[in-house]
Amino acid sequence: MSLGSKYQVFLSFRGPDTRIGFTDVLFHSLNDSGICVFRDDEEVRAGERIDGSLQRAIDNSRIYIPVFSRTYASSQWCLRELVQIVANTSISEGEKEILPIFFDVEPDDVKLKTPLYRDAILNLEHEKKLSTEQADAWRKALMEVDAIKGWEVKKYKGYVDVIKLVVEEVVKKLKIKHRSVTENLVGIDDRVMAVNELLDVNFGGVRLIGIYGMGGIGKTTLAKVVFNQLSFHFGKWCCFLENIQAKSSSTNGLIELQKKLLSEIGHPERARSIDEIDYGTKRIEEALNNKKVLIVLDDVANNKQVEELVGRSSLYPGSRILITTRNKDVFRVRDQTVKS
């Protein structure tokens, strides 16, 4: 992918401090959740200016994650990036956000209340013979970012805990898998709460929940709202298959639905090889046996379609399947239902 492509997240960090370890794990965790991330490293760049392609990567990103570390403010490159990041965010009218991480520094360091960053900028100013205007722009950018609530890594047991929270927050803000629904829906909140309680994403086992009722009463809308609220818990491992009854009636319709499901939960290579339903079901079972997923099967006609789309084997612990249907018999071998 070229630097000018549209990224969703821009990581700004000091390579020697965090590249091996924290930033690398964060980068791959975001990628694994289906997020397009640009990771800059000032050590691999020549020159003193932010070039056009890097500027486009900054401009096109929706979320910026600066990882503040001991020598972040000793890098002109990091500070220049930060100025551009703050400038982009301030003119975005709320469309862009900065999510700061304080790796091995305190917020007061970034706020220039301690010598760490304050002296680093003074040293750059003198050594590089920089203008006061340039140094003041760096100071201003640091002060503005520090006013934003972020994560202090030292407050967590390990990298994994804080990275998990960062990834969840990014997925939630980007609304990566969200389905379009009408705003200001009336009378739906109680039903959404009821379905969420039955799904209970904090429960470690597997749950299959059904929403049934006649056509036109809002089953699909209810499922979309629930899906939008819960999808961030599952990263890229979630899928909403809509209008299954209609789509499966067309030639190879069920196979196309199987391919879509596998592709959306991160297995496009398995999807490409599917040419008949039983084989597709087998590939799906293999995928769902190794990762917790959130899958919505909308407008299912019978439980054969359920088995063809999520398999007959045990699902990975933590998985959630939500089904909408006009046929209550779809659940005759299942024990969880909720009436719409």
Distance from chain centroid for Cα 318: 18
β-pairing, 63-68 vs 101-102, is parallel
Q: Is the pLDDT of residue 68 over 90?
A: yes
Which has more confidence, 323 or 146? 323
**Which band of pLDDT confidence, cut at 50, 70 and 90, is reported for residue 254?**
very high
What is the per-residue pLDDT for 332?
Answer: 67
Residues 214-235, mean pLDDT to the nearest whole number: 89
Q: Is the pLDDT of residue 165 over 90?
A: yes
Computed over every residue of the chain, the mean pLDDT equals 88
**Which band of pLDDT confidence, cut at 50, 70 and 90, is reported for residue 338?**
very low
Percent of the chain with pLDDT over 70: 92
**Which band of pLDDT confidence, cut at 50, 70 and 90, is reported for residue 302?**
very high
Give the separation between CA 279 and CA 302, rounded to whole angstroms.
20
Q: Is the pLDDT of residue 19 over 50?
A: yes
Q: Which contacts of 144-147 are long-range, i.e. CB under 8 A and separated by 24 or more positions?
A: 144/86, 144/90, 145/66, 145/82, 145/85, 145/86, 145/98, 145/100, 145/110, 146/100, 146/107, 146/110, 146/111
Helices 76-90 and 52-60, axial angle in degrees (round to 10): 40
Ranges 20-24, 33-37, 125-129, 174-178: which has the least confidence: 174-178
Among the listed residues 231, 223, 288, 294, the one whose alpha carbon sits nearest the alpha carbon of residue 262:
288
Give the separation between CA 19 and CA 39, rounded to whole angstroms.
10
What is the per-residue pLDDT for 282?
Answer: 94
Structure tokens at 121: 């900028």
Hey, what amino acid is at 18? T
The model's pTM is: 0.69
Residue located via tokens 């640009």: 38
Distance from chain centroid for Cα 41: 22
Helix H, strand E, coil C: the string for the chain is CCCCCCCCEEEEECHHHHHHHHHHHHHHHHHHCCCCEEECCHHHCCCCCCCHHHHHHHHHCCEEEEEECCCHHHCHHHHHHHHHHHHHHHCCCCCCEECCEECCCCHHHHCCCCHHHHHHHHHHHHHCCCCHHHHHHHHHHHHHHHCCCCEEHHHCCCHHHHHHHHHHHHHHHHCCCCCCCCCCCCCCHHHHHHHHHHHCCCCCCCEEEEEECCCCCCHHHHHHHHHHHHHHHHCCCEEEECCHHHHHCCCCHHHHHHHHHHHHCCCHHHHHCCCCHHHHHHHHHHHHCCCCCEEEEEEECCHHHHHHHHCCCCCCCCCEEEEEECCHHHHCCCCCEEEC
The residue annotated as part of the active site, out of 48, 81, 276, 308, is 81
Give the separation between CA 104 and CA 106, rounded to whole angstroms.
7
Residues 55-83, mean pLDDT to the nearest whole number: 93
Q: Is the pLDDT of residue 5 over 80?
A: no
Q: Is the pLDDT of residue 154 over 60?
A: yes
Q: Is the pLDDT of residue 26 over 90?
A: yes
**Which band of pLDDT confidence, cut at 50, 70 and 90, is reported for residue 330?**
confident
Q: How many other β-carbons are positioned within 10 Å of the β-carbon of residue 50?
A: 17
Q: Is the pLDDT of residue 128 over 90?
A: no
Q: What are phi and psi of 97, to 5 degrees?
A: -140, 155
Q: Is the pLDDT of residue 180 over 70?
A: yes
What is the per-residue pLDDT for 2?
Answer: 40
Residue 97 among the catalytic residues: no
Which has more confidence, 245 or 187? 245
The per-residue pLDDT for range 95-113, each reduced to its tens digit, is: 899 999 999 999 999 999 9
Residues 257-280, mean pLDDT to the nearest whole number: 91
Q: How far is CA 335 from CA 207, 210, 275, in A?
A: 9, 9, 33
Q: Is the pLDDT of residue 337 over 50?
A: no
Structure tokens at 332: 């005759």
What is the per-residue pLDDT for 34?
Answer: 80
Residues 148-157, mean pLDDT to the nearest whole number: 93
Which has more confidence, 131 or 4? 131
What is the per-residue pLDDT for 72?
Answer: 96
Give the separation between CA 41 and CA 192, rounded to whole angstroms.
44
Hey, what amino acid is at 240? F
Q: Is the pLDDT of residue 339 over 70?
A: no
**Which band of pLDDT confidence, cut at 50, 70 and 90, is reported for residue 41?**
low
Q: Is the pLDDT of residue 59 over 60?
A: yes
Residue located via tokens 């659940």: 331
Q: Is the pLDDT of residue 301 over 90?
A: yes
